[in-house]
Amino acid sequence: MTQFSESKDKQLKEDASTYLVQRWEPSERQKPLVMVKGEGLYMWDAAGHRYLDFMSQLYNVHIGMGNRVPIEAAKKQLDELAYASPSYFSEPQVRLAKKLAQITPGDLCQTFFGNSGTEANEVAIKLAQLYREASKIIGFWDAYHGSTYAMVSVGGSARNRQFRGLSIFEEFKHIPSPYCYRCPYKKTYPECELICADFLRYTIEKEGDNTVAAFMAEPICSWAGQVVPPEGYWKRIREICDEKGVLLIFDEVMTGFARTGKMFACEHWGVVPDVETYAKGITCGYVPLGACIINKKMADHFDQKGFPHSYTYSGHAVSCATALAVIDLYEKEKLADRAAKMGAYMMDELRGMMERVPIIGDVRGLGLFMGVELVKDRETKESLFPRELSAEDKKDPDKNPMQYFTGKIKENGLIVGSSWNTSILRMMPALVISKEQIDEGLQVLEQTLTETMIKFSL
């Protein structure tokens, strides 16, 4: 039984501040929570406060906490064979690679395993550069693909790129994502004729077709604002990549594994990438794992040439055994269908909430991959995030409505994701969520939005 106490909670928070490197933008006013227990969609901090999680922790615990299936699979594998050197293969690693080849679209067929989404993406661009004998990678502005140097460079997120002294690979280029709500070209779909997709062709030509190895993107770009692309977008991008001989890499670290209502998000548009990457939902956080899968023509190439890359924990036996058990759960419990159904219900409820809460500017998403964009004014679409404030004032909940909202909603017992320097909320609960839990969470959301409107006279 987990023991809760206010004094234990206080001590853990103090020790967390003293002994752990503080990530991202530390704020005196918003001490991190220290969680000690998880069950389904609920988490408890050390003081015993309960939180309903609409963020699946870091968008990865698709099956909720405390599920015995991955726990037993990991325990069994630890007993049998905890680890095999990457010079050999373990049985779960081989079985998982075969399973991925079976469930992924098109001719994606050979996998390299690492420990995280970042590593999977590093592998993807290295494979692409070696295959194409070209170094440039094009990605979306405002995207996030991980925090290592190469990923900071390919992801166009200003949050990662703002620091002086950080090494950025300048030859990685960016194009705007298909963010229709705030189209950078000031166009409207479908009259726009997908000018944003055509900008990829323009960029490749300006850079030189033979210098570009790949275009890398999430099928639904999360950091840029839960950007669901308009119909025809990915088909056009695929055509441009084929025309130019540039590889298409999909980062499905967040969108993959039933989250959007399909096993992989690219299936919504019938577009098959040359390379695809996974992490998060592949093991649902029970153990770490990342994977990068390539198509047949690349597999044939690397069968001949080999791939100069390895980690001590590539294809860790316990992680692969856990992933097999988790994938089995997705299939047996038809979790992609469930995500589609629950997502449709939640979307309807959120659209209904728009009638009562004027600061909701837009609701968008697919399955249980959803975004809510907050605005001061629906007509002008002025963002609720006050860009004009100084960095210090942005951290102040009395000056920044997003900071106030983020703290308040936690106090009210709901965890939702927010996107740095924007007023976009990510609503991505575990796929096993019930209608009652959706109602419970949305009630807290509406209450907290109302409290925010009252505080800032919106």
Ligand X SMILES: Cc1ncc(COP(=O)(O)O)c(C=O)c1O
Structural tokens at position 161: 């790129």
Give CA separation, 46 vs 1, 2, 34, 81, in Å: 12, 9, 6, 34
* Residue with smaller CB distance to ligand X, 145 or 201: 145
- Give the residue nearest to ligand X (CB): 117
Question: Which residues sit at the interface with ligand X, rule CB under 6 A?
Answer: 58, 116-118, 121, 144-146, 218, 222, 251, 253-254, 279
Q: Shortest distance, CB of residue 152 to ligand X, whole angstroms? A: 11
Residue 107: strand pairing partners: none
Q: Shortest distance, CB of residue 119 to ligand X, whole angstroms? A: 7
Question: CA 406, 253, 159 angle in degrees (round to 5)?
Answer: 45
* Residue with smaller CB distance to ligand X, 131 or 144: 144
Cα 39 from Cα 110, distance rounded (Å): 35
* Residue with smaller CB distance to ligand X, 254 or 329: 254
Residue 297: strand pairing partners: none
Structural tokens at position 188: 């409207």
Question: CA 138, 141, 143 angle in degrees (round to 5)?
Answer: 90
As a whole number of Å, the CA-based R_g of the chain is 22
Question: Concatenated DSSP letters for 78-133?
Answer: HHH-S---TTS--HHHHHHHHHHHHHSSTTEEEEEEESSHHHHHHHHHHHHHHHHT
Q: Are strands 173-175 and 136-140 parallel, antiparallel or unpaired?
A: parallel
- Kind and range of the H or E element at 138? strand 136-140
Q: Is 264 exposed, middle or buried (0-12, 13-18, 19+ CB in 10 A)?
A: buried
* Residue with smaller CB distance to ligand X, 375 or 415: 415
* Residue with smaller CB distance to ligand X, 65 or 279: 279
* Residue with smaller CB distance to ligand X, 240 or 254: 254
Q: Shortest distance, CB of residue 223 to ligand X, whole angstroms? A: 7
Q: Shortest distance, CB of residue 114 to ligand X, whole angstroms? A: 9
Cα 104 from Cα 100, distance rounded (Å): 6
* Residue with smaller CB distance to ligand X, 45 or 218: 218
Query: Would you say 254 and 226 are in contact if contact means Cβ atoms under 8 Å apart?
Result: no
Q: Shortest distance, CB of residue 222 to ligand X, whole angstroms? A: 6
Give CA separation, 66 vs 168, 212, 248, 361, in Å: 40, 45, 37, 36
Instruction: Give the closest residue to 198 by CA, choosing from 224, 235, 252, 151.
Output: 235
Question: Concatenated DSSP letters for 149-182?
Answer: HHHHHHSB-HHHH-STT----TT-EEE----GGG
* Residue with smaller CB distance to ligand X, 12 or 294: 294
Kindly report the three-state secondary structure assignment for every residue of 294-360.
Answer: EEHHHHHHHHHHCCCCCCCCCCCHHHHHHHHHHHHHHHHCCHHHHHHHHHHHHHHHHHHHHHHCCCE
* Residue with smaller CB distance to ligand X, 22 or 85: 22
* Residue with smaller CB distance to ligand X, 51 or 250: 250
Q: Shortest distance, CB of residue 291 to ligand X, whole angstroms? A: 11
- Kind and range of the H or E element at 407? helix 401-411
* Residue with smaller CB distance to ligand X, 2 or 310: 310
Q: Shortest distance, CB of residue 207 to ligand X, whole angstroms? A: 23
